[in-house]
Amino acid sequence: MPTAIKFFRRSADTTGVSLATGSGEVCRAQALKCLDRLPPFSPILNRLLATLAHEDVSFAELAGLIEKDTVLAGNVLRLVNSALYGLRGTVNSVRHAVAILGLVKLRNVLLGMSISQLWRSVKTPPGWSTAAFNLHSIAVALLSDLLVEVVPAPYPEGAFAGGLLHDIGKLLLAIALPRDYGLVLRMLEAGECDWLECERRVNGTDHAELSGAVLERWNLPAPIQTAVRFHHAPELARQGQLDLAHVVHAANLLAADLGHSMLPPGVEPFHCASLAVETLGVAETLPRLIERFRSEFEVIRAFFA
């Protein structure tokens, strides 16, 4: 076992001393500073984020932006012509594809594609898998979006975005503090604690709080910020009332149960989705929901791996 983990155990068992290389505020500031190192948002991503705040964006405007991005245009046509939609003829026009998908579905798919393209250009430390991160994020996004069809959570239109962006703090911590990220991975492999607690002991902060801070910087609607910030502790979101955070929380655990997690190979999740599903009252509809998720995910994963 690495020396650092032995030190962690001794500190935690006797004095509770953190392994944090600096205060939580210092680590948080370093991670948020990495936002400036991300590539600038594309025009279409800016407009897609604007739709989450209920700014009017027309089909024609989105179609025009998509047509200027050959990668996105090609992916949209591939998706609408896939088995997921089962169309008889081939769709060759972006504007036709936009009409078929509808504004909400189109926004969600393009958000995923645009965000995943953004992550691929970021230099990440050893042990980080951008493919695993993208697939976990899209799995949580899809599951969140399916759950709000049967769960009366507030601001359901933000479910996909909340699921997609819930772990962005994890990426920023890895970029800003690569040595600390390596230590978190070793602690996870040793089975010391779950991911959130490992981060708190190493960094003095955690990815959920940091993810919420990122969405606040981006001026995304408050319900999405709250859902992301409390996706590991949804009971804190609205004084125990049902919140979008409960949905993202359950989707996150469901994704891990279905094999889509960020954990190192061979490491089992500390928590399962059963209690979260029971809290949402969707146990009876869950098998059908998972069946729909699998059919959507199998088609769409090729765009995000």
DSSP H/E element including 9: helix 3-14
Q: Is 136 found in the same domain as 214?
A: yes
Q: Is residue 270 part of a domain?
A: yes
Map residue 11 onto helix, strand or coil: helix
Please report the pLDDT score of residue 55 as a whole number: 63
Structural domain containing residue 86 = 39-107
Instruction: Count the neighbouring beta carbons within 10 Å of the beta carbon of residue 265.
Output: 7
Number of domains in the chain: 2
Same domain (yes/no): 62, 153: no
Does residue 117 fall inside a structural domain?
no
In a domain, 73, yes or no: yes
What tokens were used for 119? 């992550």
Same domain, 259 and 138: yes
Q: Of 77, 49, 81, 83, which Cα lies nearest the Cα of 63?
A: 77
48 inside domain: yes
What six digits make up the tokens of 207?
């990815």
Tokens of 122: 């970021």
Contact 59, 99 (CB under 8 A): yes
pLDDT value at residue 43: 81
Write the CA distances from 118 to 37, 121, 171, 278, 300, integer angstroms: 11, 6, 12, 36, 17
pLDDT tens, position by position, 282-295: 999 999 999 999 99
Residue 235 falls inside a structural domain: yes
On the question of pLDDT at 23 being above 80, the answer is: no
Percent of the chain topping pLDDT 70: 91
DSSP 8-state assignment for residue 36: G
Q: Which residues contact 185 (CB under 8 A, 6 or more apart)?
A: 127, 264
- Residue-wise pLDDT for 187-237, tens only, equals 999 998 999 999 999 999 999 999 999 999 998 999 999 999 999 999 999
Measured CA to CA in angstroms, residue 190 lies from 5, 186, 264 at distances of 8, 6, 11
Query: Is pLDDT above 60 for 129?
Result: yes
pLDDT at 69: 85
Residue 16 belongs to some domain of the structure: no
Is the pLDDT reported for residue 35 higher than 90?
no
**Which residue carries 């594609």 as its tokens?**
113
Q: Which of 81, 107, 133 is the last residue of a domain?
A: 107
162 and 255 inside one domain = yes
**What pLDDT is recorded for position 70?**
87
Query: Is 171 a member of any domain?
Result: yes
Q: Are 168 and 226 contained in the same domain?
A: yes
Verify that 157 and 269 share a domain, yes or no. yes
Q: Sorting pLDDT into bands at 50, 70 and 90, what band is 54? A: low
Is the per-residue pLDDT at 186 higher than 70?
A: yes
Span of 4-8, 75-79, 152-156, 210-214 with lowest mean pLDDT: 4-8
> How much of the chain, in percent, has pLDDT values that exceed 90?
54
Distance CA(36)–CA(32), nearest Å, equals 8
DSSP-derived secondary structure letter, 302: G
Q: Is residue 166 domain-shared with residue 189, that is, in the same domain? A: yes
Does 188 lie in the same domain as 301?
yes
Does residue 209 belong to any structural domain of this protein? Answer: yes
